Amino acid sequence: MVKKATKYPTNEAVNDENPFFDVRMTKSYVDGHFMWIPKKFSREHLNNYNGISTLQVGKDNPIKMNIRYNDNTEKSTMGGGWKLFSQNYNLEIDDSCNFEMTQRQPPSFIATINRARKGPSPKNLQGSSCDNNNSKRRDIGGTSRSRPRVHFDEGYRGRSSSRDNNIDVRKCNFKGTSSNRRAIADSKGRNVMKHDTFELTVNSSLYPYVPNAFLHRHKECWGKFVELKVDEKSWSVKVKYYPGGSKLSVGWTEFKEECKLEIGDRCRFKLIDEKKFVFEVSFERN
Torsions phi, psi of 271, nearest 5?
A: -75, 110
Confidence of residue 211 (pLDDT cuts 50, 70, 90): confident
User: Mean pLDDT across the chain, nearest whole number?
Assistant: 72
Q: Report the sign of the C-alpha dihedral through residues 38, 7, 198, 151, in that order.
A: positive
d(CA 224, CA 217): 15
Report the distance separating Cα 100 and Cα 22, nearest Å.
9
From 19-28, 100-109, 162-171, 242-251, the region with the lowest mean pLDDT: 162-171
Q: How far apart are CA 115 and CA 85, in angstroms?
A: 15
Give the tens place of pLDDT for each residue, 102-144: 988 889 999 998 887 765 444 434 444 444 444 433 333 333 3
Q: What percent of the chain has pLDDT over 70?
A: 66
Dihedral (CA of 86, 89, 90, 91) sign: negative
pLDDT at 101: 92
pLDDT at 218 (0 to 100): 82
Domains of the chain from N-terminus onward: 20-114 (2.40.330.10), 188-284 (2.40.330.10)
Please state whether the predicted TM-score (pTM) of the whole model is above 0.85. Answer: no
**What confidence score (pLDDT) does residue 53 get?**
93
